[in-house]
Structure 1
């Protein structure tokens, strides 16, 4: 079942491809951003460590002196030139010099985490908010003397805002690069998706042509080998369908020609007595229209009781039957010899009835003519026989003694015998005429009609 809003395959695959691309690109961007951030902080921390060692090298000899002001000026000068906050802290935590603030006003830094780590581990690092400069700072602290860490600590720091600003620029560049890559890959993906779905569209168009009956056109499919094999399979299927349809059409035409040429009427109905098929002969016999009446119930079209009873009996019997039905036709009657056979499908299930109707009206009329002819011949034969018998009985009763009457009765016997002989000759002539008609050898000659009429008059007078 097709969806209510069908979508092309391209727009089902492509959004999923974009989603996968975005899902893959976002974590990658976040990962690289995190890597860059860690890398940048590590580089900044390493740079601060180098700066701290340089400052330590410059102030190591002066650290033990009493000239605190000189150290403070030097730290401020170095801080301005390097953009770094520099703080010199004694071992007890008191601030000796600072590049951003007056060390005398600064609190003890002995508890600062970077200072504690430097005194205990050799190098201290901390990322925290500075209450002195009111900024988030990255601190690196190293002992003034590696062998005597209690002498003091050199600490360098830079604002994190500068690092974050640089990281923001890097993130923007990564986002721009990722967005550009996303657009480029999306465009390339669209081209690839369209290229992948083009063979499917070609196969769709070819299948629609096949469905429309254009089986002689062949499908051309571009793309991968698999699509080409599917296209070849479609073409082979179309060829076989074309051949089979041509065979079916040819068989149907032959069947139609056979049915149309049959003198017998052929009528096929289903189990509900609806017309499935009828030929031209059946349409003429029953007064139906093959183009309009197929599919309609037979009882709505016919009022012929004999035929309907025959069909009902055939459907109920589930076997072949035959019978004779009479159909009223104008002022006369039509007689049909009906043969009914159950109609079955390929699985042997009964699906209807096949009725073959043979018009025997002419045969019935010929039978009536023969019957009338036999009756007339019998009557014609009986008349001279009755006269001969009457004359013979009269002679036998005594008419022989009367010569005049005897001669008259003998003449009657002779005439009636001649009449009987003429009837027999007529019957033999009729038989010869019928045999000649079968052999098409009757020769017609002109003859006078008057002697025939005189003979008929004399026969009637006798």
Structure 2
């Protein structure tokens, strides 16, 4: 709840006290007035009933009901009172205002039930017949017409005389009285408000001036002072408080300047750190996070502040480390893998206890180094060394074996010598092809990273047709047909030589893995993608296909989906890796669709347009 001003604490309290006092007096007076009026009305009705009791007794004794009803109407009209005569069964014998034949049974009326017992009955309620509040007095009529105050048995009661008058006038009078009292309360409250406002203003004005100065203190302006702003009417306590606040302002000014300087130094160091740093309190909420950590986790520094660590870091192992450090207060170093969609980030984490100025633990500090690139490079280097060693060892071992055989005496047999030398030649050619592909791949990577790949907008069909012609002889030897479907007029921003090499590599692979009589389809087309357009080159065969588990690694260096068959068919294992790097150098993409036993389709996508 927002605190209120002192003037609005004194003034409402005074006003409420005045109004409450007047309201209480008014309420008590209205109750006393109402009770007094009702008591007088009851006595009057009882007296009226006593006046007609003898006549009613006579009519009932003689059984003259018509005369009783006429008498009730006349007596009720002259006395301005409603008169009702009820027998012991609750039936209405006579009534001054209504026809008794149509009136309800009155046996259960509270005043009637009381009168049946031989005593005077009273009741104040709403009349169903007349529709207004009525005061009822029921007087028992005894067989010997004795007074109601005389003690008698219920059997001696022969009827009940009920007298009633409306009390609406009483309530109207009370309403008028309450209205006058309320009006008086308003006048008195206005007077009290003026007096209390004047008093409270004298008390609160010095405090308001001090509050304004304190607000300037809070904003960092310590040049103001409270003591000169006080007036002569200020109390001793207020003056002492102002003096203490002025001394406090001087000390705060010095402390804050020192803290700001220290904080700026730390903030500069904190923000410029390459490592990702996150400070977390004991409730596992983020205290601070630097730019490197925010970029690593893909969040905003402002949005992360104050959030629970589970909302910022969605990694179970790191969360457990934080919880363990908070519990045990022991430092920990580890390496975790943070998954971001399909990507993995390798983080070297160091979690230590965060202490306050007194040495008490207030949370933990997490320092994370992103070693993803380092791990990937290590993995690539390890795989490359293993693969290239394996690929080179095979032909070298073969060459060495045949040469040693020749040296051991096979030179004397010309037929075996020629056959062995032919094998050595093939293996040396394979070694030369591997080295050429490695050099080609290295050159493409270097030119791509240095931005030295020469590109120009030229017709695509010429490049694709040239690649098909290059592979046509090989296709005919294998008994494979190449079907070219190229849309004329397509222009692509490319290096024609490299794109031709990429298409040739795809065609060579397609021819190798196709059977005699199969057809390879080479298609180029233009794709509309919003406001831009892309050129699509696809090479589709109907060969053996590729298993789904091999597709993600198909473009890695020396990776073979079927190692035995691939070596039998020849090749260096670098063709698809070269294709991938050529397309990446063009800013495009390559994808493969394949189904085991039904063939494969390689799709190259580049920037282009229709001429």
TM range (shorter): 0.3 to 0.5
Q: By percentage of residues, which structure has more helix?
A: 1
Q: TM-score, normalised by structure 2?
A: 0.35
Q: By percentage of residues, which structure has more strand?
A: 2
Larger Rg: 1
Q: TM-score, normalised by structure 1?
A: 0.44
